[in-house]
Homo-oligomer: A and B are copies of this chain.
Amino acid sequence: MKNQKEFPSCKTCGTKHLSVFCALNNEQVEEIDNSKGCNFYNKGQVVFHEGNRTNGIYCINKGKVKLFQIGAEGKEQIIRFAKPGDVVGYRALLSEEPLSASAAALEDDTTICFIPRDQIFSMITQNPNFNFKFLKMLSHELGEAAKIITDLAQKPVRERLAETLLILKDTFDMDEEKNIQVKLSREELANIVGTATESVIRLLSEFKKDKLIAVEGRNIKLLNIPGLTRVANVFE
Q: Which residues of A are interface residues toward B (Cβ below 8 A)?
A: 69, 71-73, 75, 77, 79, 90-92, 94-97, 100-101, 124-125, 128, 131, 134-136, 138-143, 145-155, 159, 193-194, 233, 235
Contact = CB atoms under 8 A, between A and B. Distances in A.
A165 to B, nearest CB: 17
Question: Which 6 pairs from chain A and chain B are nearest by CB?
Answer: A153-B194, A145-B145, A95-B139, A138-B138, A71-B154, A152-B152
Given A71-B155, A128-B125, A138-B138, A149 B95 contact: no
A201 B72 CA distance: 25
Given A148-B149, A153-B152, A194-B154, A136 B95 contact: yes
Given A135-B134, A136-B94, A143-B91, A77 B153 contact: yes
Given A91-B142, A136-B95, A154-B77, A100 B147 contact: yes
Contacts of A73: 154
Nearest to A70: B150
Majority secondary structure, A binding face: helix
A97 B143 contact: yes
Contacts of A134: 135
A217 B154 CA distance: 26
A74 to B, nearest CB: 10
B153 A97 contact: no
Contacts of A148: 149
A155 to B, nearest CB: 6
Contacts of A150: 69, 71, 77, 79
